[in-house]
Structure 1
C-alpha cells in the first residue's frame, strides 16, 4: 500500500509539473494584458466563488491587469421580496422605481464589500497568503436614463454613457484591481440601475481590453450534438442569442455582449462556468480551455477543401515536396483525397493546408488518425496559421471520435512537439499504418492523445 501511495503521489506531481511547464507560454502571453471579468450575483452566492477569488488573486500576481464587474440580480430580488416591493420587467429589463432604488443600492454595496473582503484575505496556509491586493471601486461609470421604450418609462433604469478609462488605467498601472458594479451615476448626481453585462462589455470595448470573460452558470455553448463548442465566430452568435432570448435571458445578454465586444476590437471573449472549480485557470492556461471562446479571427477562414482548391494546394505543396519535406502527391491523388484536406483561404489564395487521414484500426486498437501535409505559404509562416489549422483538425478528429493522432515527419519534429505531440516509434502505429511505413524515408513518429 505504501508503494502504491508513493507511485500515485509521484504521478500526480508529474502531471502538475507537466501542466505548469506547458502553461509558461500562456503566462508570458498574458502578462501586462488587460482582462475584464464579469460574474453575476448568483456566482457570488455560489460555494465555488471563494475558489474564483483565489484564481483572480493568482492572475493578479502573474501581472494581469484586472477589472472585475459584478451583477446583483438575485440579491436585488431578495431585497425587494423582503421589503414587499415589486418591480415589473419589460423585454427582460427591470423597471427601477424610486421606491426600489434603495434595495438596488443595498444589494450592490453589500456585494462590493463582500468581494473586497475576500480579496483582502491573507491567512497563512491559504492561497491568499501574502497576496496583498488593493481593490479600487468608485464612480468610473457615467450613466444616462434608459428612457421610454414602447411607451414604458423605465425610470431609474439606465444604460452606460461612458467609462472613465483614464482613471481606470491609472489604477491598473499601480497594480490595483478595479471593481465595477451594475450602477452608474449621472452629472446631476442620480444613481441608475444598469445591466452588469452591458457595463462589462462597454468597459472592455472602451479600454481596448485584451479579453472579456463572462462567468455564467453553464460551461459554454454546445452544438446540435450536445458537444461543447470550443470556439465560435461572432457572426455565428445570432442563432444562439435567439435561442436563449426567452429561455435564459442572462445567457442571451452575455452572448449579445460577446458579439458586440468581438466586433468592436476585443479579440477574445470567453464564456465559462462559475460552478466549475478551476475553469478560469483552465480556460486561460491550457490549449483546449474550459468553455467557449468567441473570436473574429481564429477559425473564420479555415474550411474543408473542395476540388476547386487542388491548384492552390499544388502551388503550396510542390516546393516542399521538391525539398523532400513532404511526400509527393500527384494531382489525381490530391483530387481523390480532397475531402481529407482543410485549408485557410484569403481572397482566393490558399495560405495553409493540412490533411486528416483516419487510420483503419482493429477492435483492440485505439481509434487513430494521421495528420499530414501541414504546409503554410512562406509569406505567412510567422502568422500562427499552422497552429490554427492544426487545432482545427484536432477538433475535427474529436468530433469523429478519434482518440489518438499521429504525425510522421523528417524536418518539423520540434514544431509538433511544441504543439503537444510526443515522440513515439513505428511500433506505436496501428497495424494498418505500420504496413505502409516507408523505411527508406525513415520519418520520425509522434503521437498525441486527444
Structure 2
C-alpha cells in the first residue's frame, strides 16, 4: 500500500469519524426517485445505504416509480394523465402502478441481498422489510378533476415501523396506501416520505432526485453558473417558495422544496435534496461538512460560543495539524484544559471548525489572540472573521484597548483586518519574558475603537 494513499486516507477517515458518531442511532428517511432506478443507479445507492446502516443509522427507504409506471402505461397504449402535479390513477394506471411497485420491490430486495467478494456489500446482512405501514384516503375531486385511485396519506404505523427498525431491519415503503376497507391508493413518493419522516420525527429526510439542489433566488434558477445553496434556513426556504408557482414537474424548484419545508416545520430538523447523478451523493451529504446538495434546516446549525471542558478534544484535533507544520506553537492538553475558558469556537453540527484564545494583560490594557485556527474544510467561508470579531468583543468587555498576535506565516491575513506591525519590545512585560527570540515571530496589534 503506497505511502501517498496512507497520507490521504488516514486524515480523511479521521475527519469523517465525528459524523459517524453523531449519526449513530439516528433515523433517516431516504426517498429515491424512480428516475434514479431507471438510470441504473440502484446498485450504488443500495451499497451506500447498506454502509450507512452498518454505521448504526436506522433507515426507512421510500422508492418512487413515476417513469416505471409511465413505461407500463405506454406498453399498454394508455396515456399518462396528471393534474395539480399528481397522477390521475384510473383502473389501468392502478394496475400499472401495482406491477411497477412489485417489480421494483423485487429489484431492491435482490440488490440488498448481494454479497459478492470485493464489493461494498461483501459480508453485509441487510434485512429489508416492507408492509402495510401506510393508511390512505382518496384525493377525491379537485377543481372538477376526479383523481380516482390517487390517494393521500391518512396515517402512518409509527409503532410498527419503529419496532422493525429497532430489530435492525431496513423498512422499505412503496408509494401505496390502503384504506380500512382494503382499497389500494396510488400515492406520491414525496408525500409518503415526508409523512413518514414527520410521524417518526426522523433526524433526516433525504430526497435523492434528478435535481442537483436549490438555488436561492428563483429569478436565477435557470442559470447554470448560479451556485447551489448547501444550507438553506427554513425562513429563507419559505420565502423562496412564496415566490414560486405551484410545481407541476419534478424538475420544478418547488417540487421537492415544498416537502422539505413541510417536514422542517413539523419537527424534522434537516431535509436534503441531493442529485442521484453524483456517485456516492448520499455519503457525501451525510459524512462531509458541506455536503453535495441543499439542506433545509429549521435553525442555524452553526454556533459561535465560548469553549467548555467538553471541547478540549475537538480543539486539540483542530489545531494539531497546524502545530505539526509549525504554523502554531505547540500546546499540550493540560495547557488547553487549564485555559479552555479563554477559547472561543465555531461548532457546526457537533464538530469544531474554528477557534481562538484570548489571554488578557490588564495592566497594559491589551490582550493576546492566540491559536487562531480555521479548519481547511471551512476556510474561505468567513469563519476566521467571525472568530476575530468574537475575540474583539470579549476584549472590549474586559476593558482592553487593543489585541495583539504573534505569527510567522499569516501576517497578510492580519494586515488586511486592521492590524499593524510593531517591534517585539512593544509587548507587555509579562509577555515579553515569554517571547521566543529563536522563533522570530512578528507582532501585530489592532486597536479597538
Q: TM-score, normalization: structure 2?
A: 0.69
The corresponding residue for 1:81 is 74
The corresponding residue for 2:420 is 436
CA 1:111/1:430 → structure 2, altered by over 3 Å: closer, same or farther?
same
Q: Within the alignment, does 1:193 sit opposite 2:153 as a pair?
A: no
CA 1:47/1:100 → structure 2, altered by over 3 Å: closer, same or farther?
closer
Residue 230 (structure 1) shift: 1.4
CA 1:73/1:431 → structure 2, altered by over 3 Å: closer, same or farther?
closer
The corresponding residue for 1:293 is 295
**Structure 2 CA distance, aligned partners of 1:415 and 1:182?**
48
**Structure 1 CA distance, aligned partners of 2:72 and 2:421?**
70
Secondary structure of the 2:415 match is: helix
Q: Within the alignment, does 1:109 sit opposite 2:109 as a pair?
A: no
Q: Within the alignment, does 1:21 sit opposite 2:14 as a pair?
A: yes
The corresponding residue for 1:330 is none
Secondary structure of the 1:126 match is: coil
**Structure 1 CA distance, aligned partners of 2:113 and 2:233?**
38
Residues 84-233 of structure 1 mapped to structure 2, 5 A cutoff: 84-223=77-216, 224=220, 226-233=226-233
The corresponding residue for 2:371 is 413
CA 1:277/1:87 → structure 2, altered by over 3 Å: closer, same or farther?
closer
**Structure 2 CA distance, aligned partners of 1:49 and 1:229?**
26
The answer on whether the counterparts of 1:271 and 1:292 sit within 8 Å (CA) in structure 2 is yes
1:118-155: CA deviations, max 9, x gaps? 11110111110111110000111110000111121111
The answer on whether the counterparts of 1:298 and 1:388 sit within 8 Å (CA) in structure 2 is no
**Structure 2 CA distance, aligned partners of 1:276 and 1:66?**
21
Q: Within the alignment, does 1:282 sit opposite 2:280 as a pair?
A: no
CA 1:246/1:168 → structure 2, altered by over 3 Å: closer, same or farther?
closer
Secondary structure of the 2:113 match is: coil
Q: TM-score, normalization: structure 1?
A: 0.69
**Structure 1 CA distance, aligned partners of 2:176 and 2:215?**
32
Greater gyration radius = 2
**Structure 1 CA distance, aligned partners of 2:199 and 2:187?**
17
**Structure 2 CA distance, aligned partners of 1:112 and 1:94?**
20
> Gaps spanning 5+ residues in structure 1: where?
1-5, 303-315, 318-380, 395-404, 446-450
The answer on whether the counterparts of 1:163 and 1:206 sit within 8 Å (CA) in structure 2 is yes
Secondary structure of the 1:386 match is: strand
The answer on whether the counterparts of 1:48 and 1:276 sit within 8 Å (CA) in structure 2 is no
CA 1:20/1:80 → structure 2, altered by over 3 Å: closer, same or farther?
same
> Gaps spanning 5+ residues in structure 2: where?
307-340, 359-367, 385-405, 436-440, 444-449
- Match 1:427 to one of 389, 396, 409: 409
Residue 428 (structure 1) shift: 4.5
Root-mean-square deviation over aligned CA pairs: 3.5
The corresponding residue for 2:31 is 38
**Structure 2 CA distance, aligned partners of 1:253 and 1:274?**
16
CA 1:106/1:188 → structure 2, altered by over 3 Å: closer, same or farther?
same
- Match 2:65 to one of 56, 69, 72: 72
**Structure 1 CA distance, aligned partners of 2:289 and 2:190?**
26
**Structure 1 CA distance, aligned partners of 2:74 and 2:442?**
68
Residue 417 (structure 1) shift: 6.0
Residue 47 (structure 1) shift: 3.4
**Structure 2 CA distance, aligned partners of 1:155 and 1:130?**
46
Residue 240 (structure 1) shift: 4.3
